Structure 1
Amino acid sequence: MQLPDALTIVVEALIAAIAPPQQIDPPTWAERELTVPDGPKKLEKWSRHLTPFVAEPLSHTSIDSPVNEFCVMKSAQTGFTTLMIAGIGHTIDIEPCDQMIVQPTDGALTDFNSKKLQIAIENSDALAKKVAPQTARSGKASTTYEKRYGACSLTLALASSTADLRSKSVRKAWCDEIDEYAEDLDGQGSPFDMIEARQESFLADGSWKRIYVSTPTIKGGSHIERYWEGSDKRKWFVKCPHCRDESGESSEFVFEFGPNFRYSDEWPYRAYYVAPCCGSVVEEHEKRELVRNGRWKATDPGPGKMPGYHFNAMSSPFVPWPKIAERAVKAGSDIAKQKTFYNLTLGLPFEMKGDAPDHVRLFERREDGLPRYRVPPAGLLLTAAADVQMRGIWYEVTAWAPNGESWTVDAGYCDGDTSSPDGEAFGLLHKATLGREFDDAFGGKRTLDALGIDSGYRSHVVYSWVRQNQRLHPDTGKDVVLALDGRDGWSLPAIGMPKLVDIDLGGHKIRQGCKLWPVGTWSLKGSIYDDLRKEGLKSGALRDPDGYCHFGTWLDMAYFEQITAEYLSDEKLRGRSRKVWKVRRDNHLLDCRVYNKALAEYLGLSTSTADEWAALARHRGLPVEVTKRDLFTPPEATPQPLPPPEADPEPVQGDWIGRRGRNWLR
């Protein structure tokens, strides 16, 4: 090779190295470079042909777009996580700058990194060349929570970490599943305000980008709903294959769940759509092509409004209409299932009923034949929950059937000092719960499957008592005694993963001496209130519905006043509206019922299979028939309980709730 030729090669290589990257828009870049990291098209090249509805919002993630922020309110599994990965990848390759992806939980952040982002990086030549590996020795290696590319980086942040959200300035902020973000971080401010503050230095030149993506939760308490309501509300319109409008163009409409979506209420759930413009039928097999040729159209345009996108399973290429019909049928009138259907399939916030059930009506529909301390025929699970006060402990024991029906087996108050785990009140609680055997309806003896204690008050006393009394259940292998931590918020699970906490009591400290279980109380209260409103045999129904709450005549009016003591209300927090639970009177037994339902979920109330319920019934010496009630099973088909015992066990405390008078603790 001659010297001039070698010099030419060197110069060309140098020019290529220092030349700015070719400016292409994010959708085009994604089609060239992005490998889909998960889902039905995993490890295939991304194509706007399959998910054309992603292209427009994805294009707004580029600095070339005049749009600074937009929101996406969506159902599950619609392809919008790919939007974030594609936008991040385009930024790394074409528009390098500092950016941040914010996830609601550590688990979500870990999954996003390992199961989505890292796979996309490793399967893209462009990204793999630019993102420093974690094994790099130059001092500029990437880490689990920071991807480095040249002088810039992508920070993977937790929405619950003020340290993460107060990190360096970023030009682009990707906010994922924002309905799971807290309203306030331990009094230090809103995570949204903290994220905005990280972009202050980019306000002057207008180059900042902020993207909000989430499935919604509760109407009036949903972050993504709030952003959607302030947007221009874009929906995915399809062309009617059968008619045209007055201008000669094809009429347009949106596939929405409602009266135009027709389906059979039994398998195979045949479904079709009636075009609202002309009444013609659109079959399932026509949907994909219509969606492929659809377009976004603002339904509420206005000056200053950000683009907002709503997309749900009705238009998704991944979810068949019969599956949507099946989910709707199976949700029925069950509030918890309806909420799941609205949020995850329709991409809509669910409206909870805010009024409390009528406590007088509940008192009037008490049932004979439900003696105190007796587990009813279908009560396969037995839980107890306790609410610790400055003086005394409230508690409730509840039996649960596989279909969610519940029976109050015992409830009361243990008077005494609670400043020590060896105090009188805790001794009485042990006698009423862990130390008691309950007769079942078939002559057997039952003990608790789980006992949960609210640790919000006297925390370290509760931790110590739980540690002293901990045991594993011989049937389930699970902890029997749980320290519980009630959490506010609409997106939290009934019961989450525990964390180990220290016990610091009486000058003695035990590191990581107790498990603390978080309980999402807000949604549980809504579910319980829905169950309390249900009408059963006592009201003339053909049967007691799933989730029906049974109460014996031994319960007095004060009990029902407590379990209906809260209501939903609208309030402003930092200028934002939200739905919150308000207390109108003593609510200790409502708290106990909330924790009891969380414990039932901990034991598998909603997740156990029919075979597992049958095995549990056999193991406990119960007829398997108690697990098999259906719509056509008359009440008489349920095995009849034994007659009441001649003498009930002695109550823990001589005084019952009503004898203390209302608000006696005050």
Structure 2
Amino acid sequence: MSPYADPRRRLAASLSRRLRPRPPLSVSDWADQERRLSQKGSAKPGRWRTASNPPLREPLDCLSLRSPVRDIVLMFPIQFGKTEVAVNTLGYCMDYHPGPVMVALPSEVSFNKWIDQKLQPTIEATPAMQRALSTLNSREAANRREFKDFDGGQLYIEHAGSPSRLKSTSVRTLIVDELDEFAACLQGGDDPVKMLDGRTSAFPVSYQRLYISTPQLRGVSRIEALWDKSDQRRYQVPCPHCAARQPLEWSGLHWLAQEGQVQRVWYVCRDCGAHIDEAHKTAMIAAGAWVAAKPEASLRGYHINGLYYQLGLGPRWQALAQEWLDAQNDPAKLKTFVNDRLAETWEDPAMRAVQQAMLADRALPYPLRQAPAEVRAVTSGVDTQDDRLAVQIVGWGEALRSWVLDYVELPGDPAEATVWDALTELLNRPIPHALGGELRVEATAIDAGGHRTEAVKHYVRQRRIRRPLVIFGAVPNNAPVLSKPKPQDVTWAGRTDKRGVMIQHVGTVAIKHQLYAWLGADARREPEQRLVHFSDQLPPEYYRGLTAETYDPVRNRFTLRRGRRNEALDTWVYAYAATHHPELRLHRYSAADWARLAQPLRRLGQTESPPAATPAPATPVAHPPRRPKRPSSPFAADDWINRL
């Protein structure tokens, strides 16, 4: 006889559940204690263990009762456990933190599959969820496929094919699976994110919203748009050789292939360059942690890719590399790989080429060598050739919006002093600002690759310009924008001279990806909202140079187009790297920092007329020159010299 057949026992059981004190419990703790995996939907049925996939722990705990996080975005690859995060959260809400819950799916097909393959097997295998659903017999009769009535709450399962039902439901916890497919399934043209956000408006303080999806098309993807607004957390793991923490990126994976078959695969540490075997992956992931790129954002965002698949729970690195090679020359397969395995948005290469060809049409009517009103700082990049120096001067504004202020090629052999004298005069010449006053080039990155390395080092040692950098292009594809400086000079005693010339490597691949992403996004923006701006006085050759390289997915690098010169692209990359100078770090500037730079310029711009000149005295008064104070740093000395 069932213990709930007696009404008194049912009442006692209900009161016991409501009155007993509950210890603090997170979603991951509840899942480890109560969740059971069914053999119908899991390769490893039995007790759930969060430790078997450590990156899921933090996203799970963001949805706990005492978590202050309200909105969570998961941009995950397929078969990584993103749906398990939803199911564990649902079980937690039914058993430990009851309340109205909605699971929203994009289509009726996905709706039926989710119920049959995820929800029902989980309920059948998890006693805690069964107890929540069977506390009262009356609720057993009310439970249906798309609706579950449990003690303290209700579960609604809806899909975009029935928008009227989506709009008529108020819940405290919202779980949205495969967000990027919603827009295509909503026939009324509603924005899916705005429509779904409204479901929690009745719970302004306690609501929680979980958005899950693999991304689709760049510029259309809703999950990418939310990710861009989030704090952008990536899972960083320690290198087993140097312990440097870094996210695993596809550009860091290397392989050896013969006749189209991958024979060996390894990962390259972007800090020390050591080769990492996949056997280290389990320990690396266990010691990893989520790190936010924009911690000030209130929206919590998580992104991870297929390189983090645990051994036995997903394809190995070699299988992923083989899948990548097999997808080449097949845009459909390549898009599927980029979306499903890398969890990145896909952009049609043909569309990108069209956007690049239209760069000259976006040019704005501002003169070269005059900074527009939005510019707050200026850097430059120099590319060294055997017979010339290519120089690009770029102005930077808030959020690293850029304005190309000049592009010049100085003829002359860099082994001789003449061309360096011309460079010094060019970079030390003040740049007039639209609001009044002048700006100076704050840092310059000079490429030392090729045949003139020692000439570049000699010029930088002289410090004839502000904050010069000796740079090389980094070999690893996933290198940071600007590496740590490494001293090259030695003292008379044979020791490293810490005050001598320093060498730094530039992550050219990452910067070019960033530049082309910005240029592609600017095609859909109004001129005042663009991130990269060009003057209409730039020659047509500049745009050919800026688009001279194309990404080769087989080699995982950028390659030069036939018949093109890429100095315009390289010098822009170097000018961007100069913004990361240790004494400048424009990429770290907040809105307040940019506003502080604008204050003296605005004061100059608001001056209606210059003050009246003071008449000169009849007899000039001779003043003895004051001896300047000794500068406290070599960079302060540069400032003093340049003012002479």
* TM-score, length of structure 1 as denominator length: 0.49
Could you list the per-position Cα deviations for residues 588-627 of structure 1 after superposition, in whole angstroms to 9, with x for gaps in the alignment? Answer: xxxxxxxxxxxxxxxxxxxxxxxxxxxxxxxxxxxxxxxx
Q: In structure 2, the residue corresponding to 1:95 is in which secondary structure?
A: coil
Aligned to 2:290: 296
Q: Does the 8 Å CA contact 2:254/2:268 hold for their aligned counterparts?
A: yes
Q: In structure 2, the residue corresponding to 1:241 is in which secondary structure?
A: coil
Residues 88, 347 of structure 1: alpha-carbon distance in 2 compared, 3 angstrom cutoff: same
Q: Does the 8 Å CA contact 2:106/2:160 hold for their aligned counterparts?
A: yes
Aligned to 2:16: 16
Q: Which runs of 5+ in 2 are unaligned?
A: 1-8, 355-519, 531-644
1:277 and 2:271 matched: yes
Aligned to 1:87: 89
Aligned to 1:365: none
1:191 and 2:192 matched: yes
Aligned to 1:237: 236
Q: In structure 1, the residue corresponding to 2:176 is in which secondary structure?
A: strand
Alpha-carbon deviation of 1:297?
A: 0.6
| Residue identity in the other structure for 1:207 | S
Could you list the per-position Cα deviations for residues 184-226 of structure 1 after superposition, in whole angstroms to 9, with x for gaps in the alignment? Answer: 84446223222221211111xx100111110011111111111
Q: In structure 2, the residue corresponding to 1:201 is in which secondary structure?
A: coil
Alpha-carbon deviation of 1:18?
A: 2.9
Q: Does the 8 Å CA contact 2:41/2:118 hold for their aligned counterparts?
A: no
Residues 270, 223 of structure 1: alpha-carbon distance in 2 compared, 3 angstrom cutoff: same
Alpha-carbon deviation of 1:143?
A: 0.3
Residues 143, 282 of structure 1: alpha-carbon distance in 2 compared, 3 angstrom cutoff: same
Moved more, 38-47 or 61-70: 38-47
Residues 571, 356 of structure 1: alpha-carbon distance in 2 compared, 3 angstrom cutoff: closer
Q: In structure 1, the residue corresponding to 2:183 is in which secondary structure?
A: coil
Residues 40, 97 of structure 1: alpha-carbon distance in 2 compared, 3 angstrom cutoff: closer
The one of 112, 125, 130 aligned to 1:123:
125
Q: In structure 2, the residue corresponding to 1:264 is in which secondary structure?
A: strand
Could you list the per-position Cα deviations for residues 282-314 of structure 1 after superposition, in whole angstroms to 9, with x for gaps in the alignment? Answer: 111111221122111112332x33111111111
Q: Does the 8 Å CA contact 1:54/1:79 hold for their aligned counterparts?
A: yes
Residues 92, 241 of structure 1: alpha-carbon distance in 2 compared, 3 angstrom cutoff: same
| Residue identity in the other structure for 1:115 | Q
The one of 298, 304, 308 aligned to 1:311:
304
Q: In structure 2, the residue corresponding to 1:81 is in which secondary structure?
A: helix
| Residue identity in the other structure for 1:316 | Y
Aligned to 1:353: 349
Q: Measure, in 2, the Cα distance between the counterparts of 1:267 and 1:162.
A: 48
Q: Does the 8 Å CA contact 2:166/2:196 hold for their aligned counterparts?
A: yes
Q: Measure, in 2, the Cα distance between the counterparts of 1:213 and 1:242.
A: 34
Structure-to-structure mapping, 1:51-200, within 5 angstroms:
51-132=53-134, 140-182=141-183, 185-187=186-188, 189-200=190-201
Q: In structure 1, the residue corresponding to 2:251 is in which secondary structure?
A: coil
Residues 356, 17 of structure 1: alpha-carbon distance in 2 compared, 3 angstrom cutoff: closer
Give 1 or 2: higher helix fraction: 2
Q: In structure 2, the residue corresponding to 1:333 is in which secondary structure?
A: coil
Could you list the per-position Cα deviations for residues 506-545 of structure 1 after superposition, in whole angstroms to 9, with x for gaps in the alignment? Answer: xxxxxxxxxxxxxxxxxxxxxxxxxxxxxxxxxxxxxxxx
Residues 139, 34 of structure 1: alpha-carbon distance in 2 compared, 3 angstrom cutoff: closer
Q: Does the 8 Å CA contact 1:354/1:569 hold for their aligned counterparts?
A: no
Q: In structure 2, the residue corresponding to 1:49 is in which secondary structure?
A: helix
| Residue identity in the other structure for 1:118 | Q
Q: Does the 8 Å CA contact 2:72/2:209 hold for their aligned counterparts?
A: yes
Residues 17, 225 of structure 1: alpha-carbon distance in 2 compared, 3 angstrom cutoff: closer
Q: Does the 8 Å CA contact 2:253/2:265 hold for their aligned counterparts?
A: no
Q: Measure, in 1, the Cα distance between the counterparts of 2:180 and 2:231.
A: 20
Q: Does the 8 Å CA contact 2:256/2:262 hold for their aligned counterparts?
A: no
Q: Measure, in 2, the Cα distance between the counterparts of 1:70 and 1:356.
A: 31
Could you list the per-position Cα deviations for residues 157-193 of structure 1 after superposition, in whole angstroms to 9, with x for gaps in the alignment? Answer: 1023212212321001001000101168444622322
Q: Measure, in 1, the Cα distance between the counterparts of 2:11 and 2:187.
A: 57
Could you list the per-position Cα deviations for residues 293-339 of structure 1 after superposition, in whole angstroms to 9, with x for gaps in the alignment? Answer: 2111112332x331111111111112200110111110112211110
Q: Does the 8 Å CA contact 1:269/1:326 hold for their aligned counterparts?
A: no
Aligned to 1:534: none
Q: Which runs of 5+ in 1 are unaligned?
A: 1-8, 244-249, 359-566, 578-666
Q: Does the 8 Å CA contact 1:183/1:190 hold for their aligned counterparts?
A: no
Residues 138, 346 of structure 1: alpha-carbon distance in 2 compared, 3 angstrom cutoff: closer
Structure-to-structure mapping, 1:463-542, within 5 angstroms:
none
| Residue identity in the other structure for 1:129 | R
Aligned length: 349
Alpha-carbon deviation of 1:139?
A: 7.1
